Copies of this chain bind each other. A is one copy, B any other.
């Protein structure tokens, strides 16, 4: 264990020093499910957690939006602007093309090629296979590593719809929703029930023929947002129009982000982070519990048999539930114990 502690210390120092290769390795480490990796990861994360507590924290944003609204282009243009303003940013994305590979090497770096070469930005794609609840399974750990490396602003891209946004919202400081104008698409945001989560609504593609539609959507949303009591007590949702391709509106968006940051720092970040970590711990443990039980060979085999029967309308789901419940109990409680229950 001691040599592991020394190794973790070296990893940690590398990250704090700004060693990008070390940071990249550490991001892979925390995503690994191998037991020896998990051991090292915990030692490293403990150090990081203690380190960031005594420093100015990063501002962590979830960034959400339907496919095709231009999230990657926006992240690239916005990222470059932020870097030009002398700040540093970390971007965590999901690579939809690499459901298989463990760590995605190129992925979003090719989608954000200009930002990727900046020394003040760090982009990391997780393989889509690692996604749970609309984020990478280890997003919380990855944000902590980026924060340890000193990145000022962190963007966590979400995928999917529904519950996933709520999850990402719980684990981050701010929630950015990207939409595009026209085609009734403005209402799509409402449809997903995420308007109430949104701290900054970005109407992208406000260029060419879509520009007037974007202005209309902005007015519409500014009215609509009045009806929603903000879920973060000290922030009122803002609407920004921009064109990631033309670069217009990006300084506005950055200013909005900056005022969100100032607001965050004015509050009690320790309480905020503790709350996030508590929710994360529960979420993570429930996932583990569910996974360990539902993926146990005894359970999966039984479930397969049961489903085949149900398909033939030859058996009831109620008996199936009862039988599998008993299987679960006999797994989790020693045989003697379960008899007494």
Query: Is A49 within 8 A of B288, CB to CB?
Result: no
Shortest A271–chain B CB gap in Å is: 10
- Assess whether A112 is interfacial by the CB under 8 Å rule: no
The dominant DSSP class at the A interface is helix
Query: Is A316 within 8 A of B46, CB to CB?
Result: yes
How many A residues have CB within 8 A of the partner chain?
64
Taking the full assembly, how many copies of this chain does it contain? 2
Given A42-B322, A289-B290, A290-B286: A187 in contact with B317 (beta carbons within 8 A): no
Measured CA separation A332–B334 after assembly (Å) = 10
Measured CA separation A332–B333 after assembly (Å) = 8
Query: Is A310 within 8 A of B195, CB to CB?
Result: no
Given contacts A281-B321, A285-B294, A285-B299, 7 further A-B contacts (CB under 8 A): A39-B322, A42-B319, A191-B196, A285-B303, A285-B325, A289-B289, A292-B333
| Listed A/B pairs (25) with beta-carbon separation below 8 Å | A38-B322, A38-B325, A42-B318, A46-B316, A50-B316, A163-B163, A191-B193, A191-B196, A191-B228, A277-B317, A278-B310, A281-B306, A281-B310, A281-B321, A285-B294, A285-B303, A286-B294, A288-B321, A289-B289, A289-B294, A290-B290, A292-B328, A292-B332, A292-B333, A331-B332
Question: Measuring CB to CB, which residues of chain A are less than 8 angstroms from any residue of chain B?
Answer: 35, 38-39, 41-42, 45-46, 49-50, 53, 141, 162-163, 166, 184, 187, 190-196, 224, 227-228, 270, 274, 277-278, 280-281, 284-286, 288-290, 292-294, 296, 299, 303, 306-307, 310-311, 313, 316-322, 324-325, 328-329, 331-333, 341
